[in-house]
Structure 1
């Protein structure tokens, strides 16, 4: 664990720096514009009288003679209340009362950070109460939206408050545990990003500090406590209530989101029964929305406004008639539409993982998922995902399987699935699977990855592993191969391999190993 703690400290420092830079950009650029606009800064009494710092923008000329749809925007993790001013002004100009507030525990708002716990949802409901009492807001047409933390709070509030008729949840979570603990593996860089930012910009509750400490310490005796804590803060737990309330839900996320993976959003989307829309684009956490927060043209915010225009204003703008699953490939510039998530990658091709391969643990083979935020941003901007030379990967620490060269381009769409048999020499262990696009010179570009941790296995006894890799949209050029690589160490994750452990991968005749690749029909 020593190298993980060192990596954690380094990542936390970088995370705090990145957050403060983002806060500075978001806090000055929109605010400068807002100086000429009618922005009213107010204090709102949240749950238990906790003061929430907020700002309100009303449509020009609003004189109380009519009401307007209300949009409530909770802030992102670690960002100040002016985060949404540019978009709020735009929405107010088109006829909305827009109220943004700093969630409890951050910046000048009171209280401690509850991580979308019951006090946060109670706060959101009191903010709606305040807006209906003090602005020309229409109680029949209330919407909520937010980026990241604000997205999670918006979804949870819609499940608890029938007044919320529409939601736009951008770069958020529906399942908190499946986000930072998927594959029963701690996503240490993502946790450090959240931890570091909250230490600088907010006040952690004792419960939150304990959750972070237990996460880093890999304390299995407290694992169920962490899972229960996360379930209470996940919209997936309350999906039946949300469906009963009938809110129209739009969700958008990035393929490379290293904090909240696209998989948990796609799974949640499939469980929604009301009006819904799902959008995925290249990038990392909260990056697709960033230019919109700076007041620049932005597809995510354009669709957000269209969503509210239809479901709160009743405008016949056609958004309800469009194919509701909207994807943008990491490789091409165009959008693709699908009737539902299961239609994405409806065709599947299996890559057989034949033979028996044994690898040693505790060493990073050179295959890894990159660096939180940075790697996916480089992929979005310059088409430069993490790379590895597949022929040079040391086979002592990396298991490698490759397909034949593809005669035609392969459009990977959706969730690749690994099925294999593992025989460990110790009762615990971690493996990380990577799917690579391999060019003629053997250079592999990362298509997807995912970690998997096991505990309590019998040494020497084989067991089955089924692992979903992170969903993606990536085009493999003709003449290239796909490669599946498995190793045991990745800086993104905490690993649980005892010193000297080995993992053997096999493909029994009655249960062959494979990776199932989802492909777009052509």
Structure 2
């Protein structure tokens, strides 16, 4: 496993490459004619000054106001291109600021805590008092950290009428501790980049100290206050118009927690899911280059803040682009409609045959129960979820999926099940679910569930996956495990088949399984193991 320092440095470099302009904090940039750009400190909460870029459009006001908090470890220049376009082409008064604790903003990093929300509200107050901003037309937008702060501020301040949340989160605990499994690469990136570019506050320092000791409880205790999902009632009561843009392969904030959040919103809303990793779908748009997410976001703000009758309120609000094959956008009235039907496949007993000398089970239409299959735990296989940023970016820009050679997956360390070829292909559309019985040999053991599309040569493309860790289990006592994999839209080509792999080690996560342990995967009588596949 790579060192913490090396992982943090390489991941931070990737983050800055895709999501931050290569400009110093007070770069001299050329604004379009008539647009006034002012780099200045703004008063935040508690006497903290925030480094900001104030962009005033040409013409007389009042102008609709957009406040844009920067992403984690980036400066107010993150949105420099998009902010110019919003001001010059659409007439928005834009204020982009560096979040407290980072770069030349004052204070300490508070991980989207109450101080960060108070900062955003203070920036709104300043803009209303010192620019020709319209108090009745206020919006917020951001990528990643900026998205989270925007949603949290909308819950606390009913002046915020519209929000654009790109590559953000709604449930912080579910994002970095899904099914009680620590997202190692994501956590190390966030901690390392905060130390490199900012000044961690007391809460973040305590979380890191305890995390290094193997204790995630302080982080879990602070997460609800920093999660918009816990404030959904306030956002709904305020009637905030919320647009969410996100990537299927986001390795920091997986999309499942956001589809749940979107479903619970009752006000005007839009959801866009497309190929990519954390912040990559909207990165080029932040620089001011053509970008589908930012174009949709501009239309969203134009309608809800400028009153433009552009049809955004009559379009199907859920828009998804397949994660492979460079397919077109598909539109749906709600998230539930992304799945047209579900097929339940039953996991058969893994066994060798004359044509397959490795133990492999089938994905059958009829139940097959009464079997157990023992695998060595903690050893891992060639089945992996990929590398943060790199894997998702390759999928987005080159249509190169995270792959596996199914014949090389060591059956002593994993359970493998394959289905029949799909003669005409099939679109997996939604959140697949796996149900099986697990008998651990230790109190804490990690499982990783992968769904692949496999060609005739046994080469598999990772469709989706999910971690799952048994905590405080009783060794030798069977446990029923239900795993909902991350949502996805994936076109399985004609002649390819689905394959399910379950193993116990993945470099993306903190693995709780000790080498030398075993895990028994099973399908007991009366409770058969299944894979439920959603299709369009």
What's the TM-score bracket when you normalise by the shorter of the two chains? over 0.9
1:87 aligns with 2:82: yes
Rounded to whole Å, the distance in 1 between the matches of 2:470 and 2:238 is: 38
> In the alignment, which residue of structure 1 is the partner of 2:182?
186
Change (3 A) 1:14 1:280: same
Check 1:387–1:19 CA distance in 2 against 1; reply closer, same or farther (3 A cut).
closer
Whole-Å separation in 2 of the counterparts to 1:160 and 1:211: 25
Equivalent of 1:43 in 37, 41, 44: 41
The answer on whether the counterparts of 1:354 and 1:512 sit within 8 Å (CA) in structure 2 is no
Q: Given the superposition, is the C-alpha separation of residues 455 and 285 from structure 1 closer, same or farther in structure 2, using an over 3 Å criterion? A: same
Task: Report the counterpart of residue 470 of structure 1 in structure 2.
Answer: 486
Structure 1 residues 277-288: aligned runs within 5 Å: 277-288=270-281
1:19 and 1:197 in contact (8 A); partners too: no
Give 1:99's aligned residue: 95
Change (3 A) 1:460 1:24: closer
1:227 equivalent among 200, 220, 225: 220
Q: 1:317 aligns with which of 293, 310, 313?
A: 310
Range 351-360 or range 169-178, more displaced = 351-360
What corresponds to 1:266 in structure 2?
259
Assess if the C-alpha contact under 8 Å between 1:400 and 1:486 holds in 2. yes
| Alignment of structure 1 residues 158-237 onto 2, 5 Å | 158-219=154-215, 222-223=216-217, 225-237=218-230
Q: 1:142 to 1:102 in 2, by over 3 A?
A: same
1:105-504 equivalences in 2 (<5 Å): 105-219=101-215, 222-223=216-217, 225-331=218-324, 332-355=326-349, 356-504=372-520
Deviation at 1:386, TM superposition (A): 1.2
Separation (CA, whole Å) in 1 of partners of 2:209 and 2:381: 28
The Cα shift of 1:41 comes to 1.5
Deviates most, 205-214 or 457-466 = 205-214
Structure 1: distance between partners of 2:134 and 2:287? 28
Inter-partner Cα distance in structure 2 for 1:228 and 1:56? 36
| In 2: Cα distance, 1:216 partner to 1:122 partner | 30
Give the Cα separation in 2 of the matches to 1:7 and 1:515: 36
Supply the distance in 1 between the matched residues of 2:207 and 2:488 (Cα, whole angstroms). Answer: 30
Q: Which has more helix, going by share of residues?
A: 1
The TM-score with structure 1 as length reference comes to 0.95
State the distance in 1 between where 2:70 and 2:150 align: 10
Q: Deviations over 1:205-231 (max 9, x none)?
A: 132122133334432xx52x3212111
1:15 lines up with 2:11 in the alignment:
yes
Count of residues in correspondence between the two structures: 510
Asked if structure 2 preserves the Cα contact closer than 8 Å seen for 1:426 and 1:459, the reply is yes
Is the contact between residue 450 and residue 500 of structure 2 (CA under 8 Å) also seen in structure 1? yes
Q: For 2:156 and 2:181, how far apart are their aligned partners in 1? A: 30
C-alpha distance 35-475 of structure 1, shift in aligned 2 (>3 A): same
Q: 1:26 to 1:273 in 2, by over 3 A?
A: farther
The question of whether the paired residues in 1 share the 8 Å contact of 2:8 and 2:188 is answered with yes
Which runs of 5 or more structure 2 residues have no equivalent in the other structure?
350-371
Q: Which runs of 5+ in 1 are unaligned?
A: none
Q: Distance in 2 between matches of 1:31 and 1:302?
A: 26
* RMSD of Structure 2 on Structure 1 (CA): 1.6
Query: Deviations for 1:251-295, whole angstroms, at most 9, x for unmatched residues?
Result: 010000000111011000011010000000100000011111222
State the alpha-carbon separation in 2 of the partners of residues 12 and 43 from structure 1.
29
- 1:421 aligned counterpart, secondary structure: strand
- Segment of structure 1 superposing worse, 380-389 or 433-442: 380-389
Q: Which moved more, 1:483-492 or 1:331-340?
A: 331-340
Displaced runs of 4+ in structure 1, greater than 6 A? none
Of 355-364 and 179-188, the range deviating more from structure 2: 355-364
**Which residue in the other structure is 2:368 paired with?**
none
Task: Tell me, yes or no, if the aligned pair for 1:437 and 1:447 is still in contact at 8 Å.
Answer: yes
Inter-partner Cα distance in structure 2 for 1:210 and 1:452 = 26
**2:19–2:283 contact (8 Å) kept in structure 1:** no
SS of residue matched to 2:79: helix
